[in-house]
Structure 1
Amino acid sequence: MASPSFPLPLAAILCIYIVLPISAELQRFQHHQKHDGSLIFLVVGDWGRKGQYNQSLIAAQMGKMGDKLDIDFVVSTGDNFYNSGIKDVNDPLFRLSFSNIYTAKSLRKQWYSVLGNHDYRGNALAQISPLLRKIDRRWFCQRTFILNAGVAEFFFIDTTPFISDYFNDPIHHYDWRGLFPRQKYLKNLLKDLEKALMQSTARWKIVVGHHAIRSIGHHGDSPELVKHLVPILKANNVDMYINGHDHCLQHISSRDSPLLYLTSGAGSKAWRGDVKENHSDLVKFFYDGQGFMSVQMNETLTNIAFYNVFGENIHQWRVAKSMLHSSI
């Protein structure tokens, strides 16, 4: 099982999370690809419900597909633990919603995760603490980081602090420790992301965040991300933006660039039942039910597929570098 190569000892990383604001240049980690240069991974989001709402069924199908495809790792798009993240590093919810659910041998690979808005309602510092790796070594979660995986480079970003509504929420408490002053935090994040994307020489560039940029699902577009992220992603030839937040599966193509907006936030509770109309980009697929996504990549071709709770392939397409756009 491949593991990320950490540039700092465990104690040093823990100190950074607890003491310092998260405003330094993005940390980089390495995940070694297969000998043939290919890269295969699954994507799931919005899942942590102690197996309920078909989470266990999705986990079982992920295990089967992970074995069939021989995946390298799993990407989690956030909202990892409902309803309000975890309380501390010893919270039994971590085992009940993660370790005890994703038990298939094929899923005993590294999980790379970002925080969602529900995770921020709990102890966000606990969820990004490396101490959780002592409980389950698969777990790796930070606010923002870069993962070099050979043929592809992943830019995991912290989208929750962009959403203004959370800072005016009179009902829920959010763990904003280390994020103030907010505008400085966001400015540094965008600056570091743009610099990293400009310097990247990866064949495929993938940005991962919790909130959707484009969506026709329950939550819809995130205006803050449309404003601040889209220009950076398009200017730096990002191939795809992968997110959760909306509990559905979506494939949306940009009208004026090769950028794909891919939602995989259907790891447990779904079936919202509402769809927004008049979308500005091209909606290729929308499924308002539970499921997950697979991505298979090499130097010239990427194959992407969505699966439902029965493990059925309900949508697939490919992206060729020479073509720049996807073909169904």
Structure 2
Amino acid sequence: MEVPYKRVMSLYALFLVYFGMVGMLLSAELQKFNQAAKDDGSLSFLVIGDWGRRGSFNQSEVAFQMGKVGEKLDIDFVVSTGDNFYDNGLTSEQDPTFEESFSKIYTANSLQKQWYSVLGNHDYRGDAEAQLSPFLRKVDSRWLCLRSFVVNAGLAEIFFVDTTPLVDMYFSDPEGHSYDWRGISPRKAYISSLLKDVELALSESSATWKIVVGHHAIRSVGHHGDTKELMEQLLPILKANNVDFYMNGHDHCLEHVSDTSSPIQFLTSGAGSKAWRGDIKGLNGHGVNFFYDGQGFMSVQLTPLEAEIAFYDVLGKVLHRWNKSKLLHSSI
């Protein structure tokens, strides 16, 4: 029986569309968002992680101080480094935890700016896709959470990376937690695509400041310590593309660690609520500039020539301040 020509072409077209879409899913470029800077081109923002506990464990007190510092610095936006809702993320788009741990906590006028968020491992224990849903942006327009994406803010580009799928232990969790891996499978292809997308985006960036944000630490002396999968797979990409800062949460502390073989600074801001006082790996590691295992947050101020990083405790006291100069090379 002879198959009609038009039918063959229709099947061929469907074949191309299907496999074309699969290819897009496995190698799509990171979605980009534009963020306005100040009139003089400068930027200022706050960084907070590991926070969503309905105001408990000093979350409300940290939020209050964030509001004061945010007003003083006239911040442009807020970055969340993940573990946005404890203990097991959100149950759905309608979960009241979203408003109880976010909208009703960060109420200061200065914090009514865009929040850019990544997922943490605790977020993956719930309905991870609920946090990614545009529905939550209707509930609170500040909220923007995606797996991986880029924020173009003029003199700075911030690359948000979904680090949880890179960590082996979550796929054989000895504590028996379940994770929402929808959109991740097959894992190997997802990770390969993610790393290629991040590498491409970084290589194409001409921003004065390159900042990468993920939930898990690359270097840390806190409870969880270094993340070997990120050291092996992500760190070489950051070094090759002249990244200035890697910012993360996961360890419930504040810390500043310098890389010993590149200019990258590792900045942990995971002290938005419950902290682990005294739970550290030890402070004898090379490059440790600052460590604090109480609650707090971080601020970032950027100009074309300088970056200033500051860490604050639950009372708003500056615990550590650090400046980095940027040498601009003019073309002839």
Secondary structure (helix, strand or coil) at the match of 1:310 reads: coil
Where does residue 49 of structure 2 map in the other structure?
45
| Amino acid aligned to 1:32 | A
Secondary structure (helix, strand or coil) at the match of 1:66 reads: helix
Distance 1:310 1:141 in 2: 28
Q: 2:205 aligns with which of 178, 200, 203?
A: 200
Distance 1:49 1:252 in 2: 27
**Structure 1 residues 303 and 278: CA distance shift in structure 2, 3 A:** closer
- Whether 1:209 aligns to 2:214 is yes
Where does residue 160 of structure 1 map in the other structure?
164
Where does residue 35 of structure 2 map in the other structure?
31
1:255 offset after TM fit, Å?
1.1
TM-score by length of 2: 0.90
Where does residue 186 of structure 2 map in the other structure?
181
Q: Is residue 291–residue 307 contact of structure 1 (8 Å, CA) maintained in 2?
A: yes
Secondary structure (helix, strand or coil) at the match of 1:231 reads: helix
- Whether 1:67 aligns to 2:67 is no
Q: 1:221 aligns with which of 192, 217, 226?
A: 226
**Identity over aligned residues, as a percent?**
64
- Whether 1:321 aligns to 2:323 is no
**Structure 1 residues 69 and 141: CA distance shift in structure 2, 3 A:** same
- Whether 1:252 aligns to 2:257 is yes
- Whether 1:87 aligns to 2:72 is no
Secondary structure (helix, strand or coil) at the match of 1:227 reads: helix
| Amino acid aligned to 2:70 | G
1:23 offset after TM fit, Å?
5.1
For residues 265-316 of structure 1, the C-alpha deviation after alignment (integer angstroms, 9 at most, x for no partner) is 0000003412213765400000000000000001010011000000000100
Q: Is residue 38–residue 298 contact of structure 1 (8 Å, CA) maintained in 2?
A: yes
Q: Is residue 21–residue 178 contact of structure 1 (8 Å, CA) maintained in 2?
A: no
1:322 offset after TM fit, Å?
2.6
Q: Is residue 22–residue 178 contact of structure 1 (8 Å, CA) maintained in 2?
A: no
Q: 1:233 aligns with which of 205, 229, 238?
A: 238
Q: Is residue 121–residue 164 contact of structure 2 (8 Å, CA) maintained in 1?
A: yes
For residues 20-77 of structure 1, the C-alpha deviation after alignment (integer angstroms, 9 at most, x for no partner) is 9575221111011111000000000000000000000000000000001100000000
Aligned pairs, how many?
Answer: 304
Gaps of 5+ in 1: 1-19, 324-328
**Structure 1 residues 281 and 227: CA distance shift in structure 2, 3 A:** farther
After superposition, residues 118-129 of structure 1 pair within 5 angstroms as 118-129=122-133
**Structure 1 residues 97 and 22: CA distance shift in structure 2, 3 A:** farther
Q: Is residue 218–residue 272 contact of structure 1 (8 Å, CA) maintained in 2?
A: no
Secondary structure (helix, strand or coil) at the match of 1:256 reads: coil
Distance 2:262 2:27 in 1: 30
Is the radius of gyration larger for structure 1 or structure 2?
A: 2
| Amino acid aligned to 1:186 | I
Distance 1:242 1:278 in 2: 19
Q: 1:78 aligns with which of 79, 82, 85?
A: 82
- Whether 1:99 aligns to 2:103 is yes
Secondary structure (helix, strand or coil) at the match of 1:97 reads: helix
- Whether 1:298 aligns to 2:266 is no
Instruction: Indicate the RMSD between aligned Cα atoms, in angstroms.
Output: 1.3
Q: 1:134 aligns with which of 130, 134, 138?
A: 138
Distance 1:97 1:22 in 2: 33
Q: Is residue 21–residue 179 contact of structure 1 (8 Å, CA) maintained in 2?
A: no
1:90 offset after TM fit, Å?
0.6
Distance 2:260 2:232 in 1: 16
Q: 2:113 aligns with which of 109, 115, 126?
A: 109
| Amino acid aligned to 1:141 | C
Where does residue 19 of structure 2 map in the other structure?
none
- Whether 1:282 aligns to 2:287 is yes
Secondary structure (helix, strand or coil) at the match of 2:170 reads: helix
Bigger fraction of residues in helix: 2
Distance 1:142 1:281 in 2: 34
Q: Is residue 27–residue 197 contact of structure 2 (8 Å, CA) maintained in 1?
A: no
Distance 1:162 1:230 in 2: 13
- Runs ≥4 in structure 1, deviation > 4 angstroms? 20-23
Distance 1:31 1:131 in 2: 21
Distance 1:302 1:49 in 2: 31
